[in-house]
Amino acid sequence: MAAAAVDSAMEVVPALAEEAAPEAAGLSCLVSLPGEVLEYILCSGSLSAADIGRVSSTCRRLREVCQSSGKVWKEQFRVRWPSLMKHYSPTDYVNWLEEYKVRQKAGLEARKIVASFSKRFFSEHVPCNGFSDIENLEGPEIFFEDELVCILNMEGRKALTWKYYAKKILYYLRQQKILNNLKAFLQQPDDYESYLEGAVYIDQYCNPLSDISLKDIQAQIDSIVELVCKTLRGINSRHPSLAFKAGDSSMIMEIELQSQVLDAMNYVLYDQLKFKGNRMDYYNALNLYMHQVLIRRTGIPISMSLLYLTIARQLGVPLEPVNFPSHFLLRWCQGAEGATLDIFDYIYIDAFGKGKQLTVKECEYLIGQHVTAALYGVVNVKKVLQRMVGNLLSLGKREGIDQSYQLLRDSLDLYLAMYPDQVQLLLLQARLYFHLGIWPEKSFCLVLKVLDILQHIQTLDPGQHGAVGYLVQHTLEHIERKKEEVGVEVKLRADEKHRDVCYSIGLIMKHKRYGYNCVIYGWDPTCMMGHEWIRNMNVHSLPHGHHQPFYNVLVEDGSCRYAAQENLEYNVEPQEISHPDVGRYFSEFTGTHYIPNAELEIRYPEDLEFVYETVQNIYSAKKENIDE
């Protein structure tokens, strides 16, 4: 009977949502049900928020059931934005109707801003003041971030331009938050020794779109500690480390007991879990990100040492970090407590080398040189983070394919957050801004940013006058060029000077010589590069030289190239091009070609029609041959 009553009521609810003045019999049937049953029906998932609003306006009884802080509106919020529920405590009073309205408004505003980015910043990188609209929005930041994530998670191969700019905005918002947290962390006293926390901030800053948290990483380490305890129990069932609890700061002072912990750690880490130093791919930034070290079970000396150090300290072994040149180490004190110690009173542990224990002489043999006693000393958290970021900085300078230099930009930001007066890095940052051409469209915010950096360098080190003067001159020249720039250049295929252009934007091509797949996002009737580039690329050796159309292409390896027409051919098996800038130029991938977004189509208004003809001729003919 109860089930029949619920089924009957379920049929009435949609009618109530649609009718402004429901019939008395239907309304009476519904409101006579117990409140719990009404809530169950209204939370069934068949009604939208608008439906709930209309139902709640029919009578006092339904208005009470649909109260703003009740289960009905909570379920509406949960179904619409499930990822946000983790931000609410079960014990807190929440006006779910109001939260729904605020989240809905934030989503609409965020989408409006994302939609505007292509028009505002199509011709250049998003400038430093480009995110001000997002920063100035009212409402919780988590709502804006959630909407950006929703855009990124849109299914299919459409809305590529929206996804491109949503990703950039989300990247910026999260990095700003992480950088503020890192700066607060660096203000901690020198004896604050949460090495793992600092390493996680670096990991988060370089991977802001990944779901990385100290809590999750600590949980993974805790599971390793449990395995160590299980092994340790077999060695010494009464070992004091087995009684340790999370957050316990006490240390074990007996060397023999410490040794038992380290033996158990080495067995679990290197024999059971197969952690190892990454000798085969040493110069990979993933080796420095703690979440990747745990996933891939490999790293370089400093990241492996931080993992080893964290586990040892949780089990009461007071290891310390040593900023040893070329190979980060840990040290383990063998001397009596309170005694005057020198470098020979320690054993040095190579976490990269499966926890091998080294003497001073063996440490020097490891790096092939003699070093002073000072380099065996312990270092604080800030020095450890400096070395980690320094490694990332070195890797960023080595980047070849990634023309956005994202790792270099991120590592520079991190280093200068710790040491803001590093003259050489400030100069590098100024050069990088200038090289990337991240100039704003209607203001010279970044120009002023570069000039501020240069003025700061001049104050710190007057000896850099020549380098500073050079950059200032070129920055000011850029301002003058910007003043002289005209509107958008439109290229019409019907123009006589474009008669030799054979291909169009959006077509998937293959390079005849190098074999890479790419998509065209621009073309010139002849090579527009300077004489030096033409000479370096040996363009004169081509049969048609530089007097032929050249194409801007996005390549599947993430690079952007300028290819001669005679070196390109149609790709008979078109596929998506995995390039980070695809969304900057295209709105959709159809399976055979890309459709330009509105801004690119303005610049090549006649190309899309040509693309349709080409696709019809090339791929339809291929399909007919297969069918035959």
Task: Write the pLDDT tens digit of every residue in 78-97.
Answer: 999 999 999 999 898 999 99
For residue 297 the two structure tokens come to 């079970």
Cβ atoms within 10 Å, residue 333: 18
Q: How far is CA 321 from the centre of its chain?
A: 29
Mean pLDDT confidence for 234-259: 86
* H or E element, residue 535: helix 531-536
Neighbours of 107 (CB within 10 A): 20
Total Cβ atoms within 10 A of residue 179? 18
**What are phi and psi for residue 578, nearest 5 degrees?**
-80, 80
pLDDT at 600: 96
Is pLDDT at 77 greater than 50 in this prediction? Answer: yes
What's the N-to-C CA distance of the chain in angstroms? 63
| CB-neighbour burial class of residue 542 (10 A; exposed 0-12, middle 13-18, buried 19+) | middle
- Percent of the chain at pLDDT above 90? 59
The arithmetic mean of pLDDT across residues 423-434, rounded, is 75
User: Cα dihedral sign for 487, 490, 495, 500?
Assistant: positive
Residues in Cβ contact with 42 at an 8 Å cutoff, skipping those fewer than 6 apart: 13, 52, 55, 65, 66, 72, 75
Lowest mean pLDDT segment, chosen from 487-491, 518-522, 533-537: 487-491
Which pLDDT score is estimated for 468? 54
Q: What is the pLDDT of residue 442?
A: 34
Q: What is the pLDDT of residues 283-295, one digit of tens each?
A: 999 999 999 999 9
pLDDT of residue 473: 62
Give the mean pLDDT of the chain: 85
Residues 622/508, Cβ–Cβ less than 8 Å: no
Given a contact cutoff of 8 angstroms between Cβ atoms, the answer to whether 415 and 103 are in contact is no
Mean pLDDT calculated for residue range 265-275: 97
Q: What is the pLDDT of residue 427?
A: 73
How many angstroms separate the CA atoms of 301 and 242, rounded? 28
Distance CA 492, CA 176 (A): 42
Contact 377, 291 (CB under 8 A): no
Q: How confident is the model at residue 124 (pLDDT cuts 50, 70, 90)?
A: low
**pTM for this predicted structure:** 0.82
| Residues making up the chain, counted from first to last | 628
Alpha carbon distances (Å) from 381 to 177, 183, 199 = 21, 13, 9
**pLDDT tens, position by position, 523-547:** 999 999 989 899 999 999 999 999 9
